[in-house]
A and B are shown apart, each in its own frame.
Chain A
Amino acid sequence: MNTPTPPPALTALQLERALQLLGHSGQPLPPGTPGSPGWLQGVIDALVELSSRDALTGLANRRAFDLALAREIDRVARSGEPALLLTLDIDHFKRVNDSWGHLAGDEVIKAVATALIDSVRPMDLVARVGGEEFAIILPNCASAFGETVAERIRRRVERTPVAVAPGQQVSVSVSIGGAFAPQWVRSTPAIWVGRADLQLYRAKGQGRNLVQLEPTAVSVVSSEEKRLLFESFQFQDTE
């Protein structure tokens, strides 16, 4: 035996698979003496990092997104700072897969991920939350800038051709929905995501490659709503 035997407790941990996984995913192996507390912390940190990243794009994954969203809701309710949530979906992604194959589809997803990262601030969290679905949390984003930033993202993707085969490029677009967190008011991740998704659904319905943000003043009652509200209703003469 020329290698020292790790303490029994660490042997029981069976770290081989964890180390294999880290090596395979290109995570640098932790420095330090194998088995030392510092090294073990390094392994844990690397695993935490790995479990919060999407394997294909390196973006935050669904798990990390859910956690970040819950934190953001807490922060907004506490600080009253505005925060914007965008949900995005690659338009006609199935066509890319069907025409060029799944590897080409993966290239498109990676290119869109890069375009998203390149069009937001470092403090913003970009996540891949589904096959061709992404979400971005933009803390401290004033409502006046929501449209601008979402439009910038949309244009950036539109202007980024993706090489899907030798000498072959495709252009893709994204539909974007967005909603601001209600300031001071405690919301839930499900409600916030639901509001942004509703806008995304509208952007898709209106022809795709569009940005649709929830109007900040949702309290506005349209004339159509008023008409229906007062239709066939006889108001009494007030004294």
Chain B
Amino acid sequence: MTAPLSAHDHLNITAVTSGKGGVGKTFVSANLAAGLARIGKKVLVLDADLGLANLDVVLNLYPKVTLHDVFTGKCSLREAILSAPGGFSVLLAGSGMVEYSRMTPEVRDQLQRVIAEVAPQFDHVLLDTGAGISDVVLYTVSLAGRVLVVATPEPTSLTDAYATIKVLATTQGRRRIALLVNQTRKRGEGRTVRLQLQQVVDRFVNPPLDSPVQLDLLGEIPADPAVRDAVQQRQLLVESMPGAPAAIAIMAAAARLDA
């Protein structure tokens, strides 16, 4: 019998997730990592969506060696860890992983092994997980000590973020969940979104729990045309346009994540 994985030992591992796709989860993962690197931290981003994340696209990296090759024993873990443009390291899954639409015991064990091995080597490990609440997402999130939910201030994104928070609280016993509100259109909208979510959590999720779920606002990133430009030019915003409002907001969130 293996000892239960104590996710809380891995406080330097943060799972970046979202209820809904298309809220900028991968953009946030990559730029948070670059932001952390800029304040001198050693960071690794892992494509925990097993090839479905567009991390390779965002970073403009098409490696020959991927996590898939580590799993199949074709290369060592060290060989698969690449340097990304933003001064951080990245472990890409590669399209070969897409076939693992379900978490098989082998993938599960391999992923756990890889994460346990890399965690002590970095100040921060960010797991860019898939969207939604599949068993794969839940499993990868369960490997992280901290979880960051990315949401935008739209009804569908809020609903899905709330559903994710609910599932994480009930099935994984999460009591602190960080929230990052992307594409805000007015100052303070992130606080409003956090408050709104917290209010529903207090009313519908918290009552039967032994201790209440607390949502922490990691930051709000304003809607910023510079983001689209950076994404289209396949550059990291905090690198290419560090003065843009969204880049400044990401740097602040990175500092808070590191605090």
Residues on A lying within 8 angstroms of B by beta carbon are 70-71, 73-74, 77-80, 182-188, 190-191, 194-195, 198, 201, 218-222, 224-226, 228-231, 233, 235-236, 238
Contact = CB atoms under 8 A, between A and B. Distances in A.
B121 interface: no
B232 to A, nearest CB: 17
B74 interface: no
B142 A185 contact: yes
Contact of A70 (B1, B153, B155): B1
Contact of A191 (B138, B139, B159, B173): B173
A74 B2 contact: yes
Contacts of A79: 105
A78 B210 CA distance: 28
Q: Which of B1, B158, B171, B208 has the most CB of A within 10 A?
A: B171
Contact of B4 (A70, A182, A236): A70
A78 B163 CA distance: 25
Nearest to A183: B135
B159 A226 contact: yes
Nearest to B103: A184
A130 B105 CA distance: 35
A225 B204 contact: yes
A182 B203 CA distance: 24
A177 to B, nearest CB: 11
B192 interface: yes
12 contacts: A71-B1, A80-B104, A184-B103, A184-B135, A191-B172, A194-B173, A218-B170, A218-B171, A220-B163, A225-B204, A229-B197, A236-B186
B231 interface: no
Interface string B153-174: 1110011001110110011110
B109 to A, nearest CB: 8
Given A78-B105, A225-B200, A186 B5 contact: yes
Contacts of A201: 208
Contacts, number: 95
B171 A80 contact: no
B210 A238 contact: no
B140 to A, nearest CB: 10
Interface string B93-121: 00000000011110010000000000000
Contacts of B158: 229-230
A229 B108 CA distance: 35
A183 to B, nearest CB: 6
A68 to B, nearest CB: 11
A228 B162 CA distance: 11
A190 to B, nearest CB: 8
A184 B137 CA distance: 10
Nearest to A220: B163
A80 to B, nearest CB: 7
9 A-B pairs with least C-beta separation: A219-B163, A236-B185, A184-B135, A184-B103, A191-B173, A182-B171, A219-B133, A185-B138, A198-B208
A63 to B, nearest CB: 15
Interface string B197-221: 1011001100010100000000000
Nearest to A71: B1
Contacts of A221: 159, 162-163, 166
A166 to B, nearest CB: 44
B188 to A, nearest CB: 12
Contacts of A226: 159
Given A80-B103, A184-B103, A194 B210 contact: yes
Contacts of B197: 229
Q: Which of A184, A233, A238 has the most CB of B within 10 A?
A: A184
Given A226-B159, A233-B196, 8 more contacts: A78-B108, A80-B103, A185-B138, A185-B171, A187-B172, A191-B173, A201-B208, A218-B166
Given A74-B1, A183-B135, A191-B173, A235 B203 contact: no
